[in-house]
């Protein structure tokens, strides 16, 4: 597929087939993503692919923390408030998902189930964690965001599915300890990756985007 089609057809996958992806294919995805732009060509990204027993062990740790009600401690905190326009888009998404799936996404019980699904990697055979040196500033977070987008597009082009997951950074110290990531590193994002199960209801819904004229001005 061409680049425009790849961008427009990529979607977040929340149900995966159990079959593992060959390591050479996962490495091809990372190899493509490394060509992302970065400030002064600093390339401030590091990636860790986790699979098999180690992934299951990490999942168990995260689920136990969730069950115990341990307060999240991400390296990058969730925004306490959203600007009105952004908040309205989030509210619209929640309303639509509530109507389609018949659940209240603001319910504490549903929020807990959602986190549990995240911590189980949505059934994906692999997870990818993106991190960087904690001394780097906001520019480097922007750079790793572009790396993440390139990674997801490369995966989509190769027939794989991904979903970026902020929740996978909720317990950053525990993730870093389990995966032997130095404490000096900033955990920016976790992703699930694998072959998408497009028969699942979870993958039938794809959010719309706002009209282009709402986000651009021409002077």
Rounded to an integer, what distance in angstroms lies between the CA atom of residue 149 and that of residue 179? 23
Q: Residue 162's closest CA among 1, 56, 9, 5?
A: 9
Are 29 and 160 in contact by the 8 Å Cβ rule? The answer is yes
User: What's the pTM value of the predicted model, to 2 decimals?
Assistant: 0.94
Q: Is the dihedral of CA 120, 123, 126, 130 positive or negative?
A: negative
DSSP category for residue 12: B
Rounded to an integer, what distance in angstroms lies between the CA atom of residue 27 and that of residue 6? 19
Q: Tokens 């130095």 identify what position?
A: 182
Mean pLDDT of 32-55: 98
pLDDT tens digit sequence for 185-210:
999 999 999 999 999 989 988 888 99
pLDDT tens digit sequence for 156-193:
999 999 999 999 999 999 999 999 999 999 999 999 99
Number of helices and strands in the chain (H, E): 7, 4
Which contacts qualify for 96-104: CB closer than 8 Å, 24 or more apart? 96/205, 96/207, 97/205, 100/205, 101/201, 101/205
Cβ atoms within 10 Å of 168's Cβ, excluding its own: 27
Share of the chain above pLDDT 90, in %: 84
Going by their DSSP bridges, the two strands 126-133 and 185-194 should be labelled as antiparallel
Q: What are phi and psi of 12, to 5 degrees?
A: -75, 125
Mean pLDDT of 135-162: 97
């Amino acid at each position: 597929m061409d680049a425009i089609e790849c961008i427009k057809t990529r979607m977040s996958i929340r149900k995966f087939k159990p079959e593992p992806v060959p390591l050479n294919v996962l490495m091809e995805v990372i190899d493509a993503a490394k060509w992302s732009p970065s400030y002064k060509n600093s390339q401030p990204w590091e990636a860790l692919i986790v699979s098999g027993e180690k992934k299951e062990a990490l999942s168990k740790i995260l689920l136990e923390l969730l069950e115990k009600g341990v307060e999240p401690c991400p390296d990058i905190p969730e925004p306490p408030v959203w600007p009105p326009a952004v908040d309205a888009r989030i509210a619209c998404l929640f309303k639509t998902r509530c109507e389609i799936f018949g659940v209240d996404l603001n319910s504490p019980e549903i929020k807990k189930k959602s986190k549990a699904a995240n911590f189980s990697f949505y059934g994906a055979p692999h997870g990818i964690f993106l991190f960087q040196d904690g001394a780097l500033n906001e520019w480097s977070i922007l750079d790793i965001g572009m790396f993440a987008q390139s990674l997801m597009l490369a995966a989509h082009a190769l027939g794989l599915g991904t979903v970026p997951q902020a929740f996978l950074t909720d317990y950053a110290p525990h993730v870093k300890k389990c995966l032997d990531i130095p404490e000096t590193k900033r955990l920016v994002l976790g992703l699930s990756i694998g072959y998408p199960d497009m028969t699942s209801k979870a993958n039938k819904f794809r959010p719309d985007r706002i009209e282009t004229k709402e986000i651009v001005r021409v002077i």
